[in-house]
């Protein structure tokens, strides 16, 4: 006996509470089980890579804020590092430390958002998200007092950072860093052993290490699948080579492991921040560079370990004031390509959880 029915096609998105923006998955269903998943992107395409070819190197920094609006600092850093590589600009030590401090704070903020929305996608009614927002809010306050913006910071500059930190920054940062382990213990106490969360995320959306590598996944997606890979260790940039920290790695490759890896990374970021704040040297934070920077003809690729994975910028210079080619290796987009692999065969409810565990930012997927 065979069932002769046409598949039930359902659109998850583009307007849907769980797609984290305007992203659409067209799924074919058999009952609740997904038999086919088709990702449709581009609803948020803003043509940033092309627009960047018309603007000077400094003018492009705000674009990078808006690529991944939850991790503006990391994006700034990656882009600026690419330009610095291209133009061979040196950054003073204090600038390097400030960059790392901001990037790690940004990682905590971004992971807090990721974990919160992930648990939301599992069906919790906003409560974990609100808890996560509590600390994210304090981090955004730190950003605000440093550069005036909370979300789209536009802080890192070619040759350093836009402003040195204000006087009230360090006490607040120290307070937060000291409280961080306790806060994380609270989060873990709330979430890690929650029976329903375990039921919803353990064994769901399994991606083996081989598959994760084949899909070029990076970040918590890759680490959740048992691959200890972190650019901060593999190819240390800024001052990460002076930091003591560890790479949290999951062994099962399911949604739960990705969620746990994120929680653990927040802890490690706290460690890094502590070391950075201890070692923070004095002196100049920025080497001034001309606003209309004209790097020599050539190309450069620089990548950082962003909250979502390897965030790389590839820039080609023709010697003019604007990049000839500006390309972003967006971890959200590349991690997302593993989505059909993970969702086919699971249910609709699982698909939402899996999407939540990938932690996409649609601004970065579509650019």
Partner 1 sequence: MTIGIEHYLIVSAVLFAIGLFIVLAKRNLIGALMGVELMLNAVNLTFIAFARFTESAQPIAGQVFAVFVITVAAGEAALALGLAVAVYRTRASIDAEDMSTLKW
Partner 2 sequence: MPFPFLKGAWYNISDLSNLSRALLGWVDGWGNDTVAYIAAGLIGVLATMAFLVPSQLGVVWIERRVIGRFQIRRGPNRVGPYGLLQPIADALKVMLKEALTPPAGDKWVFWAAPILMFIPAIGVYAVIPWGKNMAMADLNIGLLYFVALSSLTTIFVFMAGWSSNNKYSLFGAMRVVAMMISYEVPVVVTLLGVSLFTGSLSLSGIVQWQADYHVWLVLLQPMAFIVYYIASTAELNRTPADIAEAESEIVAGYHTEYSGMKFSLFYAAEYTNALAISALVAAVYFGGWYMWGLEQWVPGWLIFIGKLYFFFLVLIWLRGTLPRLRVDQLMAFAWKFLLPLSLVNVFVVGLEVLLWHENGWSAGVTLPAFAVVNLALTVALVYTYARAFGYDRPRAGDIVLRSEIGFVPGPATEGLPGGT
Partner 3 sequence: MDGTGIVIAFWVFAAMTVGAALLVVALRNLFHAALALIVAFAGMAGLFVTLSADFLAVGQVLIYVGAISILVIFALMLTPLAGRHNGESRYALPAGGAAAGLAAVVIYAVLNVDWPLRGGEGFDETAALLGEALLDTWVLPFEVVSVLLLAAMIGAIVLVRGDGE
Contact map string, positions 306 to 345, toward partner 2, x by CB under 8 A: ----------------------------------------
Smallest distance from partner 1 to CB 344, Å: 23
Smallest distance from partner 1 to CB 30, Å: 13
Q: What is the dihedral of CA 270, 272, 277, 278, to 10 degrees?
A: 120
Residues between 4 and 63 that touch partner 1 (CB under 8 A)? 4-5
Residues between 14 and 33 that touch partner 2 (CB under 8 A)? 16-18, 32
Secondary structure (3-state) at 318: coil
* Residue closer to partner 1, measured from CB, 3 or 125: 3
* Whole-number Cα distances in Å, 176 to 5, 61, 86, 150, 306: 57, 28, 36, 17, 21
Residues between 252 and 291 that touch partner 2 (CB under 8 A)? 252-253, 256-257, 260-261, 264
Binding segment toward partner 1, per CB under 8 A, in 1-9, 77-85, 97-105, 279-287 = 1-9
Tokens standing for 260?
Answer: 């746990």
Look-up of token digits 């809010």: 137
Residues with Cβ within 8 Å of 182's Cβ and at least 6 positions away in sequence, in order, are none
Rounded Cα–Cα distance for residues 110 and 107 (Å): 5
* Residue closer to partner 3, measured from CB, 27 or 355: 27
Look-up of token digits 């965030």: 311
Tokens standing for 29?
Answer: 């269903």
Rounded Cα–Cα distance for residues 184 and 86 (Å): 39
* Residue closer to partner 2, measured from CB, 204 or 239: 204
Residues that bind partner 1 (CB under 8 A): 1-5
Residues that bind partner 2 (CB under 8 A): 8, 10-11, 16-18, 32, 119-127, 130-131, 134, 192-200, 202-203, 206-210, 212, 224-230, 233-234, 245-253, 256-257, 260-261, 264, 347-350, 352, 356
């Amino acid at each position: 006996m065979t069932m002769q029915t046409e598949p039930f096609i359902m659109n998850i998105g583009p307007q849907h509470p769980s797609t984290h923006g305007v992203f659409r998955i067209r799924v074919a269903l058999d009952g609740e089980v997904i038999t086919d998943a088709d990702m449709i992107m581009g609803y948020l395409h803003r043509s940033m890579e092309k627009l960047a070819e018309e603007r000077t190197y400094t003018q492009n920094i705000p674009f990078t804020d808006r690529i991944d609006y939850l991790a503006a600092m990391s994006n700034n850093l990656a882009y600026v590092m690419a330009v610095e590589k291209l133009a061979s600009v040196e950054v003073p030590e204090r600038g390097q430390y400030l960059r790392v401090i901001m990037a790690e704070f940004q990682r905590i903020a971004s992971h807090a958002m990721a974990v919160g929305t992930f648990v939301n996608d599992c069906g919790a009614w906003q409560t974990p998200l609100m808890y996560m927002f509590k600390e994210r809010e304090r981090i955004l306050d730190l950003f605000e007092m440093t550069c005036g913006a909370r979300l789209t910071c536009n802080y890192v500059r070619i040759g350093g950072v836009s402003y040195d930190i204000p006087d009230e920054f360090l006490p607040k940062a120290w307070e937060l860093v000291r409280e961080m382990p306790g806060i994380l213990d609270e989060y873990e106490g709330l979430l890690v052993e929650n029976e329903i969360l375990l039921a919803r995320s353990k064994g769901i959306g399994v991606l083996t290490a081989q598959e994760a590598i084949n899909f070029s996944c990076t970040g918590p997606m890759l680490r959740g699948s048992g691959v200890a890979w972190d650019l901060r260790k593999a190819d240390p940039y800024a001052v990460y080579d002076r930091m003591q920290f560890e790479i949290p790695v999951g062994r099962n490759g399911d949604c739960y492991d990705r969620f746990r890896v994120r929680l653990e990374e927040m802890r490690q970021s706290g460690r890094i921040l502590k070391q950075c704040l201890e070692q923070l040297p004095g002196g100049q934070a920025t080497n001034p560079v001309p606003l209309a920077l004209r790097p020599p003809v050539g190309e450069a690729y620089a990548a950082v370990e962003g909250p979502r994975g390897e965030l790389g910028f590839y820039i080609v210079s023709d010697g003019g004031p604007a990049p000839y080619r500006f390309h972003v290796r967006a971890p959200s987009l590349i991690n997302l390509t593993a989505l059909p692999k993970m969702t086919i065969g699971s249910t609709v409810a699982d698909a939402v959880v899996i999407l939540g565990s990938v932690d996409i930012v649609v601004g970065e997927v579509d650019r």
